[in-house]
Chain A
Amino acid sequence: QQPVQSPQAVILREGEDAVINCSSSKALYSVHWYRQKHGEAPVFLMILLKGGEQKGHEKISASFNEKKQQSSLYLTASQLSYSGTYFCGTGGSGGYNKLIFGAGTRLAVHP
């Protein structure tokens, strides 16, 4: 089952914050976050493994709530370069695992 991402689209002004959610109907082992610019390959942002840990990458961080089967991506003090489509991919048990990707959240940051 494809994870559900919300919202579908976000428009921000530079410096504003945003939260993107990724929910699954199945138990999660891992959640992978990617950002894709139009016509380009997805770029890996971070991975969260079962255990509820939170990770950070520059001003982008994420959390993983096993009980809710949900992950959230936090974008703080957004920059123009943050524009793109954000995808979450959910994985099963560890190792070389198949990922199921959500439909994506389009983020546009304006000056």
Chain B
Amino acid sequence: DGGITQSPKYLFRKEGQNVTLSCEQNLNHDAMYWYRQDPGQGLRLIYYSQIVNDFQKGDIAEGYSVSREKKESFPLTVTSAQKNPTAFYLCASSGGQDQETQYFGPGTRLLVL
């Protein structure tokens, strides 16, 4: 089955700690995206990557970093510089014949201890 997986489902971060959220896809999609969702709000774009070894900042990139060393993987690191990291993080991908459509993973909920 093709799809997008995110891990872990829940993640706890201590003050001053960096944490990394995993996103893997086996859809052979070129583009991948990271969004942040706060309670009762829409999705805001953190970073996106259109191709391996290339990525661009989204609307709220401060305090986050990404890498795209493999086509199927797009991990997101929430650094200690992100002062309000508690949120639901969603990874998405798009590509193939249906380039326009973004498909989402199940999400990771990050909580600060």
Taking Cβ atoms with an 8 Å cutoff, the residues of A that contact B are 2, 30, 32, 34, 39-44, 47, 49, 87, 89, 91, 94-104
Contact = CB atoms under 8 A, between A and B. Distances in A.
A32 B101 contact: yes
Contact of A32 (B88, B102, B109): B102
B99 A94 contact: yes
B43 interface: yes
B50 interface: yes
Interface in B99-113: 99-107, 109
24 contacts: A32-B101, A32-B102, A41-B90, A41-B104, A42-B43, A42-B104, A44-B101, A44-B102, A44-B103, A47-B101, A49-B100, A87-B42, A87-B43, A95-B99, A96-B48, A96-B50, A96-B99, A99-B45, A101-B35, A101-B42, A101-B43, A102-B42, A103-B41, A104-B42
Nearest to B43: A101
Contacts of B88: 39
Interface of B: 30-31, 35, 40-45, 48, 50, 58, 88, 90, 94-95, 99-107, 109
| Interface hub of B35, B43, B48 (most chain A Cβ within 10 A) | B43
Q: Is the interface of B mostly helix, strand, loop or mixed?
A: strand
Given A41-B105, A41-B106, A98 B45 contact: yes
Contacts, number: 61
Contact of A30 (B40, B58, B100): B100
B46 to A, nearest CB: 11
A30 B50 CA distance: 18
Contacts of A32: 100-102
Nearest to A34: B104
